[in-house]
Structure 1
Amino acid sequence: GIVLHTVGTAEEARRAVDSGVDVVVAQGWESGGHVWGTVATLPLVPAVVDAVAPVPVIAAGGIGDARGVAAVLALGAQAAWLGTRFLLAEEMPIHDDYRRRLIAAAETDPQRYADLYSVGWPDSPHRALRNSTADAWQAAGSPPLAQRPGAGDVIAHFTSGEPIVRYEPAPPMAGTTGDIEALSMWAGQSVALARRSQPAADIVAELTSRI
């Protein structure tokens, strides 16, 4: 099969290709969810494209509409990878409160955290909407997991009944019950461009309308 590898620098991209990777994903730090690098998409993509040509490069991070897709193709990427925009696809089974938060969010609302939602996934920087869990952690001085306020507390449950503890990287899905606001609501800075729920096919049609 084809091997894809996500990178945050041109040097990482070179090492990945030397290791046999078929396609490189250049992920800018604007991305939602787990974010490895610290370089923004605009300078990262052309640097990676130049470093690994002719290996294909997919651009990710901060792309939210047809303008962003056209932009990364102009930077030399062969494709665009979007996450946040598709959270608002009608087919995406996220909790209604999560959906409302995404629709209302500005580009400044998704914050990058070094190690906030770290239960079972430590030392993995990520970007999510600011909430009460993040505020309590930062107010306490951003301590390690064992010393955090509310560490180990069950704050919600999946539809299956499986518990979700505070600081767990578990976004609120349809059927999740409990303290929805306190869960990890992943989002990238392109969230400001995600303004309404719509069918995934309509999102794809809009994204490809300028290419």
Structure 2
Amino acid sequence: MPCTSTRSVPSPRPRAVAAGVDVIVAQGCEAGGHVRGEVTTMALVPAVVDAVHPVPVIAAGGIADGRGLAAALTLGAQAGWLGTRFLTASEAATHEVYRQAVIQAAPQDAVHTRCFDGGWPNAPHRALRNSTLRAWEAADRPAAPNRPGEGAVVARSADGRSWSRYDDMVPVPGMSGDVEALALYAGQSAGLVHDVAPAGRIVTDIAADAAALMRRTRTP
């Protein structure tokens, strides 16, 4: 099923809709990973819904619980797209160091930056502030190849592959070394993630909470 992701307020006649996509993903700038847009989910989703109607819209960015999903549905989206919340799902291929960084993070720890651009030159993204990001910021954010520790190997995969500082790679199980120094992609919703749980339970709880909230708001 073809779909597309919208990271800024769309034009009056979106090309994706004209091309016949089945669904549009509206990603606000709160999201983790690669983020190009500058508009928040709260402002972006209704604008996209209005622009692409009747094509369904999936809201992404800043959603981690039933409250966020209910808000997205109220804004006109048909579904929510959650990434950061599932970094701590027990089935996720997430290194324990990465999991704990997400659990301990506050919303402001998820920084919009261009620091981890190995493989994605100059691509903006959102990641948790870690030792690499702090050192780069302290050096006044120099461009490659003049960043602190440029090219230094900081971690190795279980298969022996080496990963350097500033690479576009997250910590996964089996890695060794200074894995905390790798890219810890996460959205601002990390501040709402407090535990490790099975993915099925996460989905069930979020859906139930959202449904209960929406029933409550519709009660006279």
Short-chain TM bin: over 0.9
Q: Show CA shifts across 1:27-50 (max 9, x none).
A: 000001111211000010000000
Look up the match of 1:131: 130
Residue of structure 1 in register with 2:14 after alignment: 14
Question: Residue 83 of structure 2 aligns with which residue?
Answer: 83
Query: TM-score when scaled to structure 2?
Result: 0.91
Equivalence for 1:193? 192
Greater CA drift, 168-177 or 19-28:
19-28
Runs of 4+ in 1 over 6 A off after TM superposition: none
1:20 Cα deviation from its structure 2 partner = 3.3
The percent of aligned pairs where both chains have the same amino acid is 51
Counterpart code for 2:105: A
Instruction: List per-residue Cα deviations over 1:61-84 (Å, max 9, x = no partner).
Output: 000101111110110001100000
Give ranges in structure 2 of 5+ residues lacking alignment: 212-220
Check whether the contact 2:57–2:79 (CA below 8 A) recurs between aligned residues.
Answer: yes
Structure 2 counterpart of 1:45: 45
Mapped to 2, the partners of 1:195 and 1:4 lie a distance apart of 31
Q: Any conservation in 2 of the 1:118–1:145 contact (CA below 8 Å)?
A: no
Deviations 1:172-202 (A, max 9, x none): 0111111112111111111111110011110
Mapped partners of 1:53, 1:123: distance in 2: 33
Q: Report what 2:201 is aligned to.
A: 202
Q: Distance in 1 between matches of 2:83 and 2:153?
A: 28
**Residue type of the partner of 1:84?**
T
Alpha-carbon RMSD: 1.3
Q: Does the CA-based 8 Å contact 1:7-1:36 persist in structure 2?
A: no
Moved more, 20-29 or 167-176: 20-29
Q: Is the 8 A contact 2:9 2:39 kept in 1?
A: no
CA deviation digits over 1:129-159, x for unaligned, max 9? 1011111112222122111121111111111
- The answer to whether the aligner puts 1:98 opposite 2:125 as a matched pair is no
> Quick check: 1:171–1:185 contact (8 Å CA) kept in 2?
yes
Amino acid at match of 1:175: G
What is the CA-CA distance between 1:85 and the residue it aligns to?
Answer: 0.4
The CA distance in 2 between the partners of 1:122 and 1:6, in whole Å, is 20
Contact 2:109 2:128 in 1 (8 A): yes
In the TM superposition, what is the alpha-carbon distance from 1:19 to its structure 2 partner? 3.3
